[in-house]
A and B are shown apart, each in its own frame.
Chain A
């Protein structure tokens, strides 16, 4: 299975941007990059996904390196509600339902 590497934890101040990195050096051409987050006591929540180009949605932006071996999830203005574990996942073909979760990055947001 394709693997990702993320920092165990990160801290941010409220209302500041947050850049969450992810390395996936063994990514294949058909792997989509997915990001999910899990708030305390809840199931994971979809954040964003992309293949080659940078992506934006109402929750976040995804910046993908040109060689696709790394990506960065950008939260433009962190709020206390963004405190969660963020998972970067490679999904073969994009549509497979077998997401392989790593340990993720635990994001803490300070007021």
Chain B
């Protein structure tokens, strides 16, 4: 079974621009979560989507948004980029939904650099 894939793997943007990152979950998984990892703040939860609905949201400004499609693929968008948005953005998928404890499978991440 193919793992979680994220595209692109690396991205360089300029302050003020916007960016869209893509995540394809493991086949059959319906939950997709996004995380931001920086050396200073560590791994921080951004948001989670389940069956095209945002189920949980972390403490990030409204410039960070996401969506999920009917095939469970997800995108996250960051508008008006700031230098501090430079980070590794990780996507994770899980398969059991609401009922049971389940593990998350992480992708390799997208390394975003804002100049």
What are the interface flags for A6-49 relative to B under an 8 Å C-beta threshold, 1 for contact and 0 otherwise?
A: 00000000000000000000000000101010100011111001
Q: CB distance B101 to A51 under 8 Å?
A: yes
Q: CB distance A46 to B97 under 8 Å?
A: no
If over half of A's interface residues share one DSSP class (helix, strand or loop), that class is named, otherwise mixed; here it is loop
CA distance A34 to B96 in the complex (A): 15
Jot down 21 A-B pairs with beta carbons below 8 A, ordered by A. Answer: A34-B101, A38-B43, A43-B4, A44-B43, A46-B105, A49-B101, A51-B101, A87-B43, A91-B101, A94-B100, A95-B94, A95-B97, A97-B31, A97-B92, A97-B94, A97-B104, A98-B56, A99-B33, A101-B35, A102-B42, A104-B42
CB distance from A47 to the nearest CB of B (A): 9
CB distance from A38 to the nearest CB of B (A): 8
Q: CB distance B108 to A42 under 8 Å?
A: yes
State how many residues of chain B have any CB contact under 8 Å with chain A. Answer: 31
Q: CB distance A95 to B90 under 8 Å?
A: no
B residues near A87, Cβ cutoff 8 Å:
43
B residues near A97, Cβ cutoff 8 Å:
31-33, 48, 50, 55-56, 92, 94, 104
B residues near A94, Cβ cutoff 8 Å:
100-102
B residues near A100, Cβ cutoff 8 Å:
45
Q: CB distance A95 to B101 under 8 Å?
A: yes
A residues near B109, Cβ cutoff 8 Å:
43
Which B residue sits closest to A50, measured CB to CB?
Answer: B101
Verify if A110 is at the interface (C-beta below 8 Å from B).
no
Q: CB distance A44 to B102 under 8 Å?
A: no
CB distance from A96 to the nearest CB of B (A): 6
CB distance from B38 to the nearest CB of A (A): 12
CA distance A36 to B42 in the complex (A): 14
A residues near B97, Cβ cutoff 8 Å:
95
